[in-house]
Structure 1
Amino acid sequence: MSDRTTAPGPGRPKDPAKREAILGAAQVLFLANGYEGSSMEAIAAEAGVSKLTLYSHFRDKEALFCDAVKSTCETRLPRSLFLLEPGRTMEQVLLAIGTAFQALVNSPESIGLHRVMVAMATQNPALSRLFFDAGPQRLLGDLEALFAEADRRGLLVAPAPLSAAEHFCSLVKGGAHFRLLIGYSDEPTADEAERHVREVVSLFLRAYGPGAAGKPD
């Protein structure tokens, strides 16, 4: 039976397992071979699907790349982390987000992807923008919404929530992330990572907490 007769047609539900296999294969090959070195044919073969099936899920390589980045972020930083639920303090929310974010950005997969994007920056700046919008910008947007809501509730003093989001991310990444990017050091141990996140959250709350010295009149 040909690919054309077995692949999902218009209106027919697509197989989520095949979509996950394609995303997983894309992540492996983009990291191993870079963006330009990873063809749709190779990704289809790695995923164990036909090209027709691959294109039924993703219209082109850029769309696949963006969805692979989004999938990684959604798995490692689920939207539930950014909810101000009853019984959770602001410190607990920030610790959970900081821990998950640090684990993501310092992971071998993320470091490899950042290196790919730095290498592509001058060759394909449009792809770099797609990457930023699919990954880092999504996180900043979620944090901005969280900090704006926390400001409204009086849990934080964050009249410029996007700036607060950028400050928080920069603090969590710290110097360790850059050292990892250039291969200067190994990933922090679990104890080192936990201690760093706790220090960051403490510092952030001193700057943005309700009793912060810089609280506007």
Structure 2
Amino acid sequence: MLAPLAAEQNDKQLAVLTAARKVFLEHGFSAATTDMIQRAAGVSKATMYACFPNKEALFVAVIEHLCASMTSTFKAMRPSPGSITKTLTDLGMSCLDIVLSPDALALNRVIMAEAPRFPELGRRFYLAGPKVVIAMIAEQLREAVEIGEINVQSIGMEAAATLFLSMIRAQAQMECLTHPGTRPSAAQKDYWVQIAVTTFLAAFGVATAAPVSAKD
């Protein structure tokens, strides 16, 4: 009997978490209430509090769940040895897909609005989202450094990863945050990524000798 009970509890927890995500992203943390979340989840107050003790715990769970879902693509990515341009381009497009997704933009707006009053929530978001992405980019760059495709010794691995992420998302994220409903085209996203990749390689790429043709 234990397994069915555990499965039922997990189903209810997921229902509460799904409802909380919708309510928080639509209304923000301060304006959202546990009553709103309970009604949206279709569970009792006792069930909701058995899953999450308070509104803050619910919001942290929503942050971590959304961030884990958004960064899952990175975990499956593999660098392209010998083609740092492709590696960076793939990373850049994945970054844009994450930061420009409707949920990511909505969560970003909520966090920015609430961080002054609830700095711990902002910190949890940073650690679960941007910090994780930076670490994943740094790991990809590390392999490129080891085979001599780039040299980031001047600023260090983490700073290089942070710089690349900043170049990728800066204009794109700002435009979409300040123009709700905007959906950039594939060509526009490709343009943003290529600018970032070209600039990054101009600063940290390692020059290689041009290949010699057969007739030479």
Which bin holds the TM-score, normalised by the shorter protein?
0.7 to 0.9
Structure-2 separation of matches of 1:69 and 1:88:
36
1:162 equivalent in structure 2:
158
Counterpart of 1:83 (choices 71, 78, 84) is 78
The reply to whether residue 197 of structure 1 matches residue 184 of structure 2 is: no
Structure-2 separation of matches of 1:72 and 1:88:
33
CA separation of 1:40/1:202 partners in 2, compared to 1, >3 Å: closer, same or farther?
A: same
**1:49-98 deviations in Å (ceiling 9; x for gaps):** 334443444444333323322332333332434433x7784333322221
Structure-1 separation of matches of 2:92 and 2:174:
17
The reply to whether residue 105 of structure 1 matches residue 99 of structure 2 is: yes
Counterpart of 1:175 (choices 171, 176, 182) is 171
Structure-2 separation of matches of 1:126 and 1:32:
21
Deviation at 1:15, TM superposition (A): 4.8
CA contact (8 A) 2:68 2:129 kept: no
CA separation of 1:168/1:80 partners in 2, compared to 1, >3 Å: closer, same or farther?
A: same
CA contact (8 A) 2:150 2:204 kept: yes
- The one of the two structures with greater contact order (alpha-carbon pairs below 8 A, sep at least 6) is 2
CA separation of 1:154/1:120 partners in 2, compared to 1, >3 Å: closer, same or farther?
A: same
Residue type of the alignment partner of 1:164: A
How high is the TM-score relative to the length of structure 1?
A: 0.76
Residue type of the alignment partner of 2:136: D
CA contact (8 A) 1:104 1:110 kept: yes
User: Aligned-residue CA RMSD in angstroms?
Assistant: 3.2
Matched length: 204
Deviation at 1:184, TM superposition (A): 8.3
1:43 equivalent in structure 2:
37
**1:1-217 aligned within 5 A:** 8=5, 12=6, 15-78=9-72, 79-84=74-79, 89-159=83-153, 160-183=156-179, 186-211=182-207
Task: Spell out structure 1 runs of 4+ moving beyond 6 A.
Answer: none
CA contact (8 A) 2:172 2:192 kept: no
Deviation at 1:172, TM superposition (A): 0.8
**Percent same amino acid among aligned pairs?**
28
Larger Rg over CA atoms: 2
Structure-2 separation of matches of 1:141 and 1:14:
36
Residue type of the alignment partner of 1:83: R
